[in-house]
Amino acid sequence: MKHFKNSYLKETNLNNKNSIKRIKDYYASGKLNLPNKPGIYAFWWIGPKKELLGSQKNIILSGPNKKDIHTSFDKNKTEDLIYHCLYIGKTTNIKKRFSLHVKNGSKKRLHKVKTDGRKIKAVTTSCQLRYGIEHIFPSEKNPLTILHDKVGFSYNTDFPHTEVAERFYKENLLIGKWRPWFNLDSER
């Protein structure tokens, strides 16, 4: 249990102002400055809170037997969070996974969000952040502007013991604790 407690404390560095950087800052040198290492990561809304809370928060998910599930992204951030958490994930390569989420080479919208809020199939299964931003800001023509300026990113690659299992459990723990908006999906 001691290992778990110490390990849990380390991953809370994801929720630390010194660890959270604007997405555009990771591209400051002209190339993506992230490690090719396994870890867990979080995307955060660091823009004006009012803008996020004024966005399209309603979403219709397809549930079992294709039954509609009407829900919305949680407008309340968890008390112990600095910012609203948008997405929590785990990966075998932080740099590659970040790229798949942001899709920096695609300046225009990738998803035509339905006006009723129904979730559509994403361009890929690994761009949940990009899809989420395009869903909550359906009239934004250049979602990369929002991603670069108003979304932050933090990560942790320090997993000395049983890293695969640790990343799995920590991702699930943080999803339950921090309630990230874009991790919301229906059961199949």
- Residue-number span of the structural domain to which 101 is assigned: 2-183
Q: Is residue 57 part of a domain?
A: yes
Residue 2's pLDDT is: 43
Residue 9's pLDDT is: 43
Q: Is residue 188 part of a domain?
A: no
Residues of the chain short of pLDDT 50, as ranges, are: 1-11
With b meaning 16 or more CB within 10 Å and e meaning fewer, what string describes 85-123? bbbbbbbeebbebbbbbbbbeeeebebebeeebebeebe
The pTM of the full predicted model, rounded to 2 decimals, is: 0.88
Q: Is residue 77 part of a domain?
A: yes
Residue 186's pLDDT is: 58
Residue 69's pLDDT is: 85
Question: How many domains, the chain?
Answer: 1
How far is the C-alpha of 55 from the C-alpha of 61, rounded, in Å?
18
Mean pLDDT, the chain, integer: 85
